[in-house]
Amino acid sequence: MCGRYRLSNAERMSERFQIETNDLDLAPRYNIAPQQVMPIVVRDGVNHLELMQWGLIPAWCKEPKSIAINARIEGILNKPAFRNPIRYHRCLIPATGFYEWRQEAAGKTPYHIHRRDGDLFGFAGIFDIWTDRTGKETKTFAIITTAPNEFLAQIHNRMPLILRSEQENLWLTTEPGKIDSLLQSLQPLPAEELEMYPVSRMVNRVGNDSPQLVEKLESDGAETLFR
C-alpha cells in the first residue's frame, strides 16, 4: 500500500501537468497522510487542480464510513467501491516521493522513494463525490497500487502505480469502454528510474512535516542493500 507521500515542489505543477489555471497557494509537504486535503489533477476539457481528501468514500455510501486510501489494480473493474470511479473519475495525484516501511530486527524502518531525476510524478488515482443529507459534497481520492518492481519488492509487496508522462493523458481521457485495455497495458515503473534510502522514524508521526523527514539516515546495512 501507499500510506504517506511527499509534494515539495508544487510550484512546478502547472508546467509539469499542463495546468492552465492554478490559483492554489501550496506550501511544501513532506508527510502527507490519509484524510488530509491535497491538490489532484482532473480533466474537464483541460487539466485543472481540485482539492480533495485522501481516502475514497464511494458516492453510494449512506454514511462516510468506508474509506479506501489505496485501490488495487487487480480486479478493480469489478469492485463495488471502485468500478464506477475507474471508468468515469480518474485523476493524477502529484507527488515528489513516497514512503514505505521495511521490517527489520529493530522494528520497521521507513524508506523514502523518489525518481532518480528528482522530478515531480503522478500517481494514477481515482476519485468520487459523496453527498451528505444537506447536499454538501465531499470529493475524495485513492491511489492505485500494483505489484512492486524488483527494486521495491525488497521492502514491500505493493507499490503505487506511477504513470509515465506519456501515459497521463491516456489515464485521464480513455473512454469507459476501453479502460480494461488501458489497465492491462500499465506496468510498474522500472527499477532503474527510482531511488530509495532509509529515513528517520519521525515520519511515523503525522504531525511531523519538514525537510528533515527526507534526510538520508545513515545505516551500513541499508546502504549495502540499496546501493
**Cα(12)–Cα(199) distance, rounded to whole angstroms?**
25
pLDDT at position 23, please?
77
Q: Are 39 and 95 in contact (CB under 8 A)?
A: no
Q: Are 218 and 139 in contact (CB under 8 A)?
A: no
Alpha helices, H only, 157-219? 165-173, 179-185
Contacts 24+ apart (CB under 8 A), 81-84: 81/56, 82/56, 82/126, 82/142, 84/58, 84/59, 84/128
Q: Provide the domain count of the chain.
A: 1
> In this predicted model, what pLDDT tens digit does every residue of 99-138 receive, in sequence order?
999 988 888 999 999 999 999 999 999 999 999 989 999 9
C-alpha cell at position 10 = 508544487
pLDDT at position 203, please?
97
pLDDT at position 62, please?
87
Nearest 5°: the CA angle 72, 73, 78 is 90
Which residue(s) pair with 16 in the sheet? none
DSSP single-letter state for residue 170: H
pTM, whole model, 2 decimals? 0.94
Catalytic residues: 2, 100
CATH of residue 171's domain is 3.90.1680.10
| % of the chain with per-residue pLDDT over 90 | 81
Q: How confident is the model at residue 226 (pLDDT cuts 50, 70, 90)?
A: low
Phi-psi region of 18 (alpha: psi -120 to 50; beta: other; left: phi over 0): left
Rg of the chain (C-alpha set): 17
pLDDT at position 227, please?
45
- Phi, psi of 109, rounded to the nearest 5 degrees: -105, 125
* Contacts for 25 with CB less than 8 Å, ≥ 6 apart: none
Q: Give the domain range for residue 13.
A: 5-226
Which residue(s) pair with 79 in the sheet? none
Picking from 179, 160, 159, 161, the residue whose alpha carbon sits closest to that of residue 170 is 179
* Contacts for 67 with CB less than 8 Å, ≥ 6 apart: 34, 35, 55, 56, 57, 140
Distance in Å from the first CA to the final CA of the chain: 23
pLDDT at position 219, please?
61
Q: Are 123 and 93 in contact (CB under 8 A)?
A: yes
C-alpha cell at position 221 = 546495512
